[in-house]
A and B are shown apart, each in its own frame.
Chain A
Amino acid sequence: MNSPFWNLGRLRRTVQILLLLLTVYGGLLVGPYLADKLSTAFPSLSCIYDQQNSAYCVLRPLQHQLNHRVGESIARLGEVTLEAFRPLLFTFLSFFAFFIVLNKAFCGWVCPLGTVQEMLYRLGRRLGLVAHALVPPRLYQLRAGKWLLLFLLVFLLPLLAGLGMIPGIAGDPYCQICPARLITTLLTASTEEMAVSTQGGLAFAFAAIRNLLFGFTLVAALTVRQPFCRICPMLALHAIFRRFSLLQLVKTPHDNCGHCSLCTRACPMDIPEISGKDPQRAFSEDCTLCGRCAEFCPNDQVISLRFGPMTLFASSKHYFSHRSRTEKPDGTPRLCTEREKPGNQPP
């Protein structure tokens, strides 16, 4: 990664754009039918409502199966069999087949919503807008949000809908409010997911929340990094399995750790634990394996991305000095003139 043009950030951006095209428009390539899809339990927000997508997000079958298989099976008393849980098991297995290889990199490298938010943040930097970093304790409060959404919207409400305790429209509540549903369909020039039900009730409420979240995310992403990712239930689902994958973020403590905090400043999720001394806590539940912490760590071999025993990328003084010439840790690009000014040398 010592090429004058290529660095990990540029490589990731290229992969993100290619995978955005694949997930949003890939149906034109792989075909229209369910059986043609790359996966029906894809570990990123490849939205099922996008008519041209190439894979379906795992959160949709999870909700669907908890609603129609598990919930309805429990509702028909005495019919609870292993059969009701078979599709759920297959969904988890399909999800894990992907996840074991790339782990949470599905958030940092693949997710189309994540890519759009990163592009917006970059636009915000270009426009010179203020950048906000989330710090504890607000950061920790927000972290709970994703677990709440996972438990409530992906697991509990679909199950209750299957049991007949709440209306059927609440059978896939997360998909009803997910801003990826709007962003990905708008990218295919379809405005239909933006339309709000005029019949009132839950359909109206869900669509209103979805549009509000979409609008908020769009503007907030200009100034806060990855605003929706902070509460995304997909990140929570990944966090459960993050220790069971080949791709890992590994940290070796260094004397500087806890002092410069460049890695936390570089992190799009503002994870404070990454700059701490505890290597176990560095691979946090919020980590998206984007690798920016490793890019902006000024010490050799302190933070690395490892695939099994293989080191894919490790921090180094040399790489850091090159990388920080073009970009500040918070993502602000350094202009040529700024780079040449004395005193603007990387820390």
Chain B
Amino acid sequence: MPLSYSSTVVLQTRLPAMRRLLLWMVLLLTCSRPLHASSWNELPLLFGQGGNRQQITLQTRQLDVERVEIFSPLYGVDQNPTAGHWQVNPTVPSGITVQPKAKQGGFHWIQARQERGSSVIVASTVHYFSEPAPSPRTMLQQPKAELEIIPMPLPREFARYRAGEEWSFLLRFRQQPLTNAIVHFHSEQEIQKRLSSDGNGMVRIRFPEKFSLPESHNGAPSAKPTSGRHDRLPLIRFALLAEHVADGREYQTTFSQSYAPDPYFDKSLASGAGFALLGMLCATPLLRRPKPVPARP
């Protein structure tokens, strides 16, 4: 529809002001990041890409990593602040390779850090190396970054996060629990949840029941079952994201891991109960009292 004379005049007279407004809007959009990433692909992530009991290869995404730090279960156990803590080269194109030191196994906390101006982004994950090690409890309690999402607890060595299960995480800033703060759950299947920390900084997350087999897509490939596991379960990556502003700086942190389907995935409880009943039936002849043998005349 052609513009009328009056509307053309209005446009011509107000154009500089509108242009300025538009320019401001564009500037605002480009300079300020959204409060949280709106999709899985926008999250700053550190994720394992494969490994074995001796090493793991990690990749980062949406991060210009300055340093990658590793914290072994020895971190914080003795007074030496460098024990159980080291850095690796983050600029390897094939991925960041992390190996435990001196055959020290157990859960290792791995985090990548990016600082730009007033923005600090830390992406973290954990990996288990199967060698004897102290409990990761002390290492988890120790501060490793300003803003942290700490699993409370981590799944056991022979377990993992599973669909439908509820797990707790502690959100803390400079060692203090961050109460009533927002934490975003994202899965690689674009399931999102908005959660809030309670009065103790704890966030309780129920992993989504819905579990469809993951496919490799857009950057972070689907998690592969850890080498050596017999169950070969499909896994879905997830990340928790939190943000906090303090002293004029914006802190953002993610904790990423993967979760498995619920325990009954591809399984039948009814069939299992059926086999158990069959076993019981097989044993029932034992319950019969033997007939008394008649005495010989």
Nearest opposing residue in chain A for B133, CB measure: A35
- B156 contacts A223, C-beta separation under 8 Å: no
B104 to chain A, nearest CB (A): 12
- What separation, in Å, do the CA atoms of A287 and B139 have in the docked complex? 45
- Contacts of B266 on A, CB cut-off 8 Å? 197-199
Minimal beta-carbon separation of A188 from chain B (angstroms): 13
- Tell me whether A5 is interfacial, beta carbon within 8 Å: no
A residues within 8 A CB of B158? 48-49
* Residues of chain A within 8 A of B276, CB atoms compared: 182, 194, 211-212, 214-215, 218
The closest CB in chain B to the CB of A222 belongs to B287
Interface flag for A34 (CB, 8 Å): yes
Contact A211 B156, beta carbon cutoff 8 Å: no
Cα–Cα, bound, A199→B232 (Å): 13
Whether a CB of chain B sits under 8 angstroms from the CB of A74 is no
CB distance from B55 to the nearest CB of A (A): 15
For the A-B complex, the count of residue pairs with Cβ-Cβ distances under 8 Å equals 124
A49 CA / B283 CA spacing, docked (Å):
26
Whether A33 lies near B269 (C-beta < 8 A) is no
The distance in angstroms between the C-alpha atoms of A110 and B284, with both chains bound, is 28
B287→A213 contact, CB < 8 A: no
B239 CB to nearest chain A CB (Å): 23
Whether A130 sits at the interface, judged by CB under 8 Å, is yes
Residue count of chain B within 8 Å CB distance of chain A: 44
Interface window among A168-176, A256-264, A275-283, A322-330: A168-176
User: Contact: B283 with A32, CB < 8 Å?
Assistant: no
Complex alpha-carbon distance, A228 and B50, angstroms: 41
Determine if A196 and B156 form an interchain contact, defined as CB atoms under 8 angstroms apart.
Answer: no
Interface contact A36-B135, CB-CB below 8 Å: yes
User: For residue B107, which residues in chain A have a CB less than 8 angstroms away from its CB?
Assistant: 33
Q: Distance (Å) between the CB of B229 and the closest chain A CB?
A: 9
- Residues of chain B lying within 8 A (CB to CB) of residue A92: none
Partner of A211, one of B159, B275, B284, B290: B275
Q: How far is the CA of A332 from the CA of B77 in the complex (A)?
A: 55
Q: How far is the CB of B52 from chain A (nearest CB, A)?
A: 10
Contact B287 A31 (CB under 8 A): no
A-B contact pairs, 10 of them (CB 8 A): A31-B137, A34-B106, A35-B106, A35-B132, A130-B288, A171-B230, A195-B272, A208-B275, A215-B280, A216-B283
